Chain A
Amino acid sequence: MAALLYALRTLARDWKSGEIGVLVVALLVAVGSLTAIAFFTDRVSKGVERQATEVLAADLRVRSSDEPNPDFFVEAGARGLDSARVLAFPSVVNFGDEGQLAALRAVSEGYPLRGALRVADDLFSSAYVVRDIPPPGEVWAESGLLARLGMAVGDTLQVGAVELRLTRVLEYRPDQSVGFVALAPTVLMNLADIPASGLVVPGSRVTWAALFAGGDAEIARFRAWLEPELVEGERLQDLSDAGEQVTGAIDRAQRFLTLASLVSVLLAAVAVAMAARRYAARHVDSVALMKCLGAPQRFVLQVGLWQLTLLALVAGVLGSVIGWLAQFGIAWLLAELVGGALPAPGWLPALMGLVTSLAVLTGFALPPIVQLRTVAPLRVLRRDLPPPRVAAWVSATTAIGVVVLMLYWVLRDLRLLLVVVGGIAVLLAALVLAGWLLVRVSGRLRGGVGVSWRYGLANISRRGGESITQVVAFGLGLMVLLLLTVVRNDLLDGWRASLPEDAPNNFIINVQPEELASVREIFRANDIEPPVFSPLVRARISHLNGVPVRELEVTDPDGRGLLTREANLSWSAPLPASNTLVAGRWWAEDSRGTEVSIEEGIAQSLGLGVGDTLGFSIAGEPLTGQITSIRAVAWDSFDPNFFVLFQPGEIEEFPTTWITSVFVPRDERTALLELVRQHPSVSVIDLESIIAQVRQVMDRASLAVQYVFGFTLLAGVVVLLAAVQATRDERRYESAMLRTFGARQGVVLRGIVAEFVALGLLAGILASVGAVVIGQVLARQVFRLDYAVDPMVLFGGPILGALLVGIAGTLATRSVVRTPPVQTLRA
């Protein structure tokens, strides 16, 4: 108890005198950055969880690409179950001359069977729950659509061949996804309007859902009846498999963001270590006195442990409050991506905050504090006795141990842990080496500069270890910011610029065979060269090398996706222009047969090679093809391309629609409007608006990541403060000596400014070089571009670094210069 009281008193006093300020701020940054992510992902997970019960908008759901069997509804009715139907497909809707890709959902009376729709009467009024659906002739649309088309409630929306009045703003539907990027806003309409719209014809790419709800027992019995009735292409969904994909996406996002925030935690931990070492050094005399007055080692240890525990508690709670506040920022930045209002977070992240603060203190502050108990009481008489030292291997082992444990806690995957630990070790080694080189080189330069700069540069090389830490801390933060802002934009712009001027900017899908001639004629009439159309046959992969896919366990998510959804097949006599052969041989142009060519990514995902066989179910009929070639596809050609191409001759008899991509100049878009009006079932997808939307999503996501790395810069500032604090006595003494010898205050201050500006420059150079190297690697490996170095990257780093570190460092140190020399020398 005495130890606790003493610990409390000392901490309170040390807090007042600013002695533990840096330590606390470092902990707050660590806890704040980690809990911000934890609170945010907790909200998203809670949203998903809350929605899980209504995510199907039913108890049982049958998904299919064809209209569901009417017998299902008859049987459900006979068993006293409620039922409804949903038809979903993407389509371009028009308001005046403006078109926008929308996710159309046509629903029948009774939808949703579970959960409820929430709507608002206009864009800015509050939402309320409704129990009905849009009546025929009306639509309810998400606010995104209104914004993008400049519409208001009451306006008329062109949906295929019909005009529907927008009567409400759709705020929420139970089966919307949370934590999922939905590019197109939803338009909810009445199923009864679909025939008149002409949007759905045989072969259209649509998804039907039959919804059923009722008592648990009835649903279970109905399910038992239903399962044997299902045919190929119909999939039963219940709560257990709903949202599986969503949860996976959230897991990945959480891991990524948490890893990003761990960078700040690590840097803050370095600051904690520096501050704790100084704290221990400052308390050596007090401990010697306490021991002289009769305090046993146990008491000293207890005091130290209480101090750490109290600090951990305070920083854990306050840091969690900061994290809680900061997550609103992330939620706001990512609002469009997670969709809908998120529920409030739970308390678990705060617990994580406490654990983090305790772990950081244990790993980085415990060794010097524990070591205090070995201070010799004789120090009260002999100040020259050296203070106890913590063996380097003890500090290193505890710190690394805690970091590895924290990483494992985030990753929960031993293999990934090894990869990440290895990656961090290599990255740190590279950064430290670069930092060391920079510090060395700057030390050499000091012969050729003025007195202030010489003093500054001398300080940097004299405090080599601390200088390297600061250069790495700021360098890393600045590098990430440069990458996310300048380099990212450069690369995207470069990629856009690398596309040919006349690269297709519109996809035209769902063209029926009998419409081909008329569509071509519309182009010709508008002086546009009709593009080449590719056939498209919808099929399902049923067998791999003769083994039914349901008996296969495919671990690759892309491969699994391909096996569970419908595949688009096509046929072609020549090898398409944007394809290159990577294995096997291409069939002769005039050959007929069942040879198949697959895309290389898919070959890899499914583990397929030349000579393997693929079994398909096309409109219920089986067809097997043998793989004779594997292709690499340049997807960014924007030509219609296919994962699976057949040799001509076999699949032409199946229902086919045609697809193409075409370049239509902005001012000639009337041709496309005419096309849509004459052929309502044909969908025109404007690539530019999709690219713009993708870019918007990326902008938002990268803003969120920048936000997380803002904590990294903050951690860098804390490292700087810790370093300044650690050297304050020394600096005060030096400044007093210099001024005693006649240096004016200005000269000493200039020396300090020079030191921090130089440090910032070094960090900035590290950041710029790093950003340029990573940018070049990305340009070559991912974008296949020649990327000229942007002067913004080259000069941005050093300028930003010099400003940030120069200002922060000078502000933190200026009191040293202000202290009258006599006060320092007398003390």
Chain B
Amino acid sequence: MVLRAEHLGKQVSSPEGTLTILDDVSLVIPKGQTVAVLGASGAGKSTLLALLAGLDDPSSGRVWLRDHELTALDEDGRAQVRAEHVGFMFQSFHLLPSLTALENVMLPLELAGRRDARTAARAALVDVGLESRVSHYPRQLSGGEKQRVAIARAFVTTPSVLFADEPTGNLDAHTGERVLNLLFEMNRQRQTTLVLVTHDEALAARCTRRIELDAGRLSADRMN
């Protein structure tokens, strides 16, 4: 078991009153599983991802990542768990514009206090086929290249869990396909648990398990 959620709920207050975004979601994700989280816009996919990754506090329920209960930790405690065990990929890549490709990949290693950050990051960029782009800045890279840097950054710390939020949402079909191949290949090699939020049925079909959300509630959870 890598991830476990029990009775997760999230409410926010709005001018119209209290809004329930996530309602009583419980799930267990074992090591190495690839999970696609599907649902319509506003179904609570991103909120679930944020709660599972410890980016946000739930209104109710508990979350464990490996043997850390995220919901019992403060923000810095959760940050430390993320630094040690979690990798991320985002729709809009989220590369720091002020850092080169290499420095972007080095960042999580440095935050984890790794001394071999530079060599490890360089190796990760070689793995994603960007050895010729190490000293380029994000604005000098194409969309596909940016996402490959993001993949390198996500895997470089050999995380237990990789969270991806619409990883191909900003890419054309062809590039998206190539990025996904890379992502699944890296995942296979490293036995990382993958949690993907997506609208893309084809992408969901490549995962071993699919979870569907509807208006904040778990509506389906099955293996492919």
Contact = CB atoms under 8 A, between A and B. Distances in A.
Partners in one complex: yes
A126 interface: no
B195 to A, nearest CB: 13
A10 interface: yes
Contacts of A297: 75-76, 79
Interface string B66-99: 0000000001100111111010101000101111
A291 interface: yes
Nearest to A295: B111
A426 B79 CA distance: 49
Interface in A277-301: 285-286, 289-299
11 contacts: A6-B107, A9-B103, A13-B98, A285-B94, A292-B82, A293-B107, A293-B153, A296-B80, A377-B75, A380-B55, A382-B50
A290 B111 contact: yes
B79 A291 contact: yes
Given A378-B50, A381-B49, A13 B76 contact: no
Residue of A13, A293, A377 with most chain B CB atoms under a 10 A cut-off: A293
B76 A293 contact: no
Interface string B98-134: 1100010001101111000000000000000000000
A414 interface: no
A9 B88 contact: no
B83 A294 contact: yes
B165 interface: yes
B82 to A, nearest CB: 4
A381 B98 contact: no
A13 B99 contact: yes
A14 interface: yes
A425 interface: no
B56 interface: yes
B11 to A, nearest CB: 15
Given A290-B111, A293-B83, A377-B55, A298 B76 contact: yes
Nearest to B137: A13
B79 to A, nearest CB: 5
Q: 9 tightest CB-CB pairs across the interface, nearest first?
A: A294-B83, A13-B98, A296-B76, A294-B82, A293-B108, A2-B110, A378-B55, A378-B56, A377-B55
A380 B49 CA distance: 12
A294 B80 contact: yes
A286 B98 CA distance: 9
Nearest to B85: A294
Contact of B113 (A2, A17, A285): A2
A729 to B, nearest CB: 14
Given A293-B111, A295-B111, A380-B55, A286 B96 contact: yes
Contacts of B53: 292
A290 B103 CA distance: 13
A418 interface: no
A5 interface: yes
Interface of B, secondary structure class, is helix
Interface in B130-151: none
Contacts of B86: 294
Residue of A6, A381, A382 with most chain B CB atoms under a 10 A cut-off: A381
B46 interface: yes
B90 A380 contact: yes
Nearest to A294: B83
B78 to A, nearest CB: 8
Given A286-B96, A293-B88, A381-B165, 5 more contacts: A13-B99, A292-B53, A293-B83, A294-B83, A381-B55
A454 B88 CA distance: 48
A374 to B, nearest CB: 9
A294 B87 CA distance: 10
Nearest to A298: B76
A285 B95 CA distance: 10
Given A285-B94, A289-B94, A293-B107, A382 B46 contact: yes
B125 to A, nearest CB: 17
Contacts of A5: 110
A6 B98 CA distance: 10
Interface residues of B, number: 31
B79 A377 contact: yes
Interface of A: 2, 5-6, 9-10, 13-14, 17, 19, 285-286, 289-299, 376-378, 380-382
Contacts of B55: 292, 376-378, 380-381
Interface in B21-75: 46, 49-50, 53, 55-56, 75
A5 B86 CA distance: 23
Contacts of B88: 292-293, 380
A5 B97 CA distance: 16
A478 B99 CA distance: 42
A382 B49 CA distance: 12
Contacts of B110: 2, 5-6
B17 to A, nearest CB: 19
A294 B111 contact: yes
A378 to B, nearest CB: 5
B102 to A, nearest CB: 11
Contacts of B49: 381
A14 B96 CA distance: 11
B83 A295 contact: yes
Contact of A299 (B46, B84, B111): B111
B160 to A, nearest CB: 13
A585 B46 CA distance: 96
Contacts of B112: 294
A295 B94 contact: no
Contacts of B94: 285, 289, 292, 380
Contacts of A292: 53, 55, 82, 88, 94
Nearest to B91: A381
Contacts of A6: 107, 110
Nearest to A13: B98
A9 B46 CA distance: 32
Contacts of A13: 98-99
Contacts of A285: 94
B52 to A, nearest CB: 12
Contacts of B97: 17
Residue of A14, A19, A289, A297 with most chain B CB atoms under a 10 A cut-off: A289
A742 B94 CA distance: 34
Contacts of A296: 75-76, 79-80
Nearest to A385: B56
Contacts of A17: 97-98
Contacts of A293: 82-83, 88, 107-108, 111, 153
A294 B96 contact: no
Contacts of A294: 79-84, 86, 108, 111-112
Nearest to B88: A292
Nearest to B87: A293
A13 B136 CA distance: 12
Contacts of B108: 293-294
A13 B97 CA distance: 9
A294 B56 CA distance: 13
Contacts of A381: 46, 49-50, 55, 90, 165
A293 B83 CA distance: 6
A376 B80 CA distance: 15
A291 B55 CA distance: 9
A286 B49 CA distance: 20
